[in-house]
Structure 1
């Protein structure tokens, strides 16, 4: 049952920093366009969100490297050049947002602006020249928002969120969907540049700071979630070191051993060559070696079970803050797929029917696999506008690289392979073959069955909410039974029958056709 409207709207205290409700009804599927400006110590970014309410897409995303926090430890003031660059960027973002109908923008500023003696003057200048009000958040608030951003992508997660910016690093514990203890520290790479004593002095400073945080945070043996541009750059370098072919940073996993190897790799490799190979800006690459020293110490001290990179952070956390609990509880992957189906499929709503139709083929599948199969059914028809010769590859490319939350990399590949087989019997001969090996053979085979089942089921769609037949699967007998109503027999044309036989072949089964009476 849905909440009544008065319980769906957040209280006034929960509307900050937007100052207005973004989710007026927990049943909402669509998020009206929302623009956020994040004024960080190293960069200023505009993100405009749109799309599925529970899993918003990046309608627009632009970053300007400003280094507002450079030299702050020595002067106590914002970097003058960075300040001018930041003002110019915000002016540009205001104009862009107006054109995209994403106003009023919401702006937040973090460590550099809150620590600088001229931070209030900068905020006043931004409002005076652009009309944009900037909310300066505390370190603990920054940690909370970043942790909420992680929860947007991983509902109910347990672990430690580590968010690194230019001038600070925040930690926040998350457990069962709630944000717990949180801390801030001066471990941003711009601050580390100004530590006296060279590498030895810097390492001692990092060690002391991390030890102090560990003393406050306590034992953390769950997952470590990495938030921030410097962490993402390190993850991209880890991909380069290992020759990893799927360059999607969100949900990329690393081990403590991999982190240590990549820190050494960064130290040994030519930085210019590494930057060019990995597509990292020179301004970011200057900070990566310093950030890698921090990461190595965090991993050494906290000893996480595993490490996951999050593309979601403070900006997404602001959205999550306003979500009604009913919306938070939904699966971000399924919500994104439902939205895509409603927007792009020829028969919106048929994905649910198709899922019910093919479900008997997967009686022994675990819930985690069933949600991916359900996602595939919802997405099975969203690329129908692509040229028939390219639909299969477009499907695979979209699934593996799209802005979808709640997906491990291997799940992306499974989803992509299932959708590829929705349009193509054979998976050989594509440009994606190097990715197939990341799935066990049994999973590749199951993805093929999912795709071929959808390929056949899509031919029996005269109505949105009913397929005039049902599957029965007898794995021990290797018999695939299809029962069709008498009225539906004309749908079993030559092409449909060929697709049914192809599905049975992938199952190693015989087909048994029966008429429902």
Structure 2
């Protein structure tokens, strides 16, 4: 095995700046964060070579460019000890293309990492030298534990403070890493990648015995891991797509998709009994990836039986996102990825950037008793309430729902995506019936649907009250036991409270089942001299 080349310290000393609160100064305006405005990384894996260019310094990554080329560098490596000759040519051509693309995008450099195939192959150093000579790109070869650490950091990019076991499967290896309290703990690598499993002699029985023995060794090193299992890697995502298809799941977003041990078992049986070509076409999976899925199911079945996690989450974030996380200042890592991304969207697309903060302060009394996890969705909705104003008015409500449920936002469960989408739909529409998204509403219960409706109608009313920064603002008060909603209108607000605004207030009161009471304040009379 080639000695791993350690990545340079990309984070660096960033200094200490206090976090001035959720609606404080956005960190993407900070010079140290703006240095991350466009970051290009390349992952040279055993099965594919991928370029990702991240744009924007919001806490959730924005994918400015994303291209994958299937090269199968690791095919036949166990028998020959060398990289697949055809794959080596394809990988070199891919890297040559990526370097030219980076130059066209004005990127100062690409960070390129290689994993199991290049580090294990005897001609790995020669391949790296050829790439450097032909493209000017320096490949950093990372060992299995470093690969596990970066993948785990990618998960932390989407779930800060999360805990559990991260499993990243590639073509030639599978890595495990534990995360707890926002930090990466123990980590280990193995040869349980599908390309390696293809080369085991003795058929399916011998392969399953090898997988079981290896998994027990991994369990001994990692210890009990009964929390959440985060799955990273293309083969896991392919299995998740099939699980969605089998279940008829309505939201086709892989990130944060949840499975159980029972659903994994059912999907494995479903795959075994299906025509793989038909299944591949129905689920939109490439033929190269689909050929590895049966092997990956054998690994996943044994993984779940061995570690018995409480639940299973798919992560679209992995080693590439971990490399972005590596470059973030700590105070950006500590921010909520959902809120930072929403603030970034408001600053870029809203008609009146900054109004989201005022809107949240105005409607907050309606949601004071909500748990913090739900109140953060209220904050996110207020920040996003106006970013889709360019859409045609007839489709604006549906556009808002579509954007919220399918956008690349970290820190959101699928049920939270639907809640946020419904709230933004009601920002522009009193009714949610009759849309093409009704099948998604079932992902949240009726109480949550009503809460989203109230939030949307509160924003719909509050958006009528745009005011100058120095104007005296009115207040909403909600008395849930008495079922009364009080609006106190300041003299500055009275001219804004016309017929449309009043109708929107009454619609909000109707959703709350509340009596609405309005108090109009008058300016003090001027004393004559």
> Given the two structures, how large is their TM-score scaled by the length of structure 2?
0.93
Contact kept in structure 1, 2:188 and 2:218, CA below 8 Å: yes
Q: 2:310 pairs with 305, 325, 331, which one?
A: 305
Q: For residue 364 of structure 1, what is the aligned residue in structure 2?
A: 369
**Cα distance in 2, alignment partners of residues 293 and 487 from structure 1:** 67
Shift of 1:101: 1.9
**Cα distance in 2, alignment partners of residues 322 and 345 from structure 1:** 28
Contact kept in structure 1, 2:113 and 2:139, CA below 8 Å: yes
Where do residues 19-418 of structure 1 align in structure 2 (5 Å cutoff)? 28-29=27-28, 30=34, 31-418=36-423
Q: 1:492 pairs with 478, 493, 497, which one?
A: 497
**Cα distance in 2, alignment partners of residues 115 and 445 from structure 1:** 56
- Please say if 1:477 is aligned against 2:477: no
**Distance change (3 Å), C-alpha of 1:378 and 1:475:** same
RMSD across aligned positions (CA): 1.6
Alignment deviations for residues 296-328 of structure 1 (CA, whole Å, 9 cap, x no partner): 000000000110000111111112123222221
Contact kept in structure 1, 2:44 and 2:112, CA below 8 Å: yes
Contact kept in structure 2, 1:347 and 1:464, CA below 8 Å: no
Shift of 1:52: 3.4
**Cα distance in 1, alignment partners of residues 38 and 232 from structure 2:** 24
Alignment deviations for residues 380-424 of structure 1 (CA, whole Å, 9 cap, x no partner): 000111111111111000100000000000000000000000011
Shift of 1:22: 11
**Cα distance in 1, alignment partners of residues 339 and 373 from structure 2:** 12
**Structure 2 SS opposite 1:52:** coil
**Distance change (3 Å), C-alpha of 1:415 and 1:483:** same
**Distance change (3 Å), C-alpha of 1:423 and 1:465:** farther
**Cα distance in 1, alignment partners of residues 173 and 470 from structure 2:** 53
Contact kept in structure 2, 1:160 and 1:171, CA below 8 Å: yes
**Cα distance in 2, alignment partners of residues 466 and 241 from structure 1:** 56
**Structure 2 SS opposite 1:468:** coil
**Alignment length (residue pairs):** 503
Shift of 1:239: 0.3
Contact kept in structure 1, 2:171 and 2:196, CA below 8 Å: yes
Q: For residue 3 of structure 1, what is the aligned residue in structure 2?
A: none
**Cα distance in 2, alignment partners of residues 391 and 488 from structure 1:** 27
Contact kept in structure 1, 2:41 and 2:323, CA below 8 Å: no
Alignment deviations for residues 187-239 of structure 1 (CA, whole Å, 9 cap, x no partner): 00000000010000100010011000001111011000000000011011100
Contact kept in structure 2, 1:349 and 1:465, CA below 8 Å: no
Instruction: Give the stretch that moved more between structures: 323-332 or 465-474.
Output: 465-474
Alignment deviations for residues 473-492 of structure 1 (CA, whole Å, 9 cap, x no partner): 11122211000102211100
Alignment deviations for residues 104-131 of structure 1 (CA, whole Å, 9 cap, x no partner): 1110000000000011111111111111
**Structure 2 SS opposite 1:64:** strand
> Given the two structures, how large is their TM-score scaled by the length of structure 1?
0.95
Q: For residue 462 of structure 2, what is the aligned residue in structure 1?
A: 457
**Distance change (3 Å), C-alpha of 1:190 and 1:495:** same
**Cα distance in 2, alignment partners of residues 116 and 22 from structure 1:** 36
**Cα distance in 1, alignment partners of residues 313 and 41 from structure 2:** 25
Shift of 1:20: 8.0
**Cα distance in 2, alignment partners of residues 321 and 37 from structure 1:** 14
**Distance change (3 Å), C-alpha of 1:43 and 1:327:** same
**Cα distance in 2, alignment partners of residues 139 and 165 from structure 1:** 11
Q: For residue 3 of structure 2, what is the aligned residue in structure 1?
A: none
**Distance change (3 Å), C-alpha of 1:463 and 1:23:** farther
Alignment deviations for residues 159-198 of structure 1 (CA, whole Å, 9 cap, x no partner): 1000000000000011111111100000000000000100
**Distance change (3 Å), C-alpha of 1:77 and 1:320:** same
Instruction: Give the stretch that moved more between structures: 413-422 or 506-515.
Output: 506-515
**Structure 2 SS opposite 1:437:** helix
Gaps of 5+ in 2: 1-5, 18-25, 29-33, 523-529
**Distance change (3 Å), C-alpha of 1:489 and 1:251:** same
- Please say if 1:439 is aligned against 2:444: yes
**Structure 2 SS opposite 1:514:** strand
Q: For residue 525 of structure 2, what is the aligned residue in structure 1?
A: none
**Distance change (3 Å), C-alpha of 1:128 and 1:22:** farther
**Cα distance in 2, alignment partners of residues 227 and 341 from structure 1:** 30
Contact kept in structure 2, 1:275 and 1:285, CA below 8 Å: yes
Shift of 1:363: 2.1
Q: For residue 4 of structure 1, what is the aligned residue in structure 2?
A: none
**Cα distance in 1, alignment partners of residues 14 and 103 from structure 2:** 21
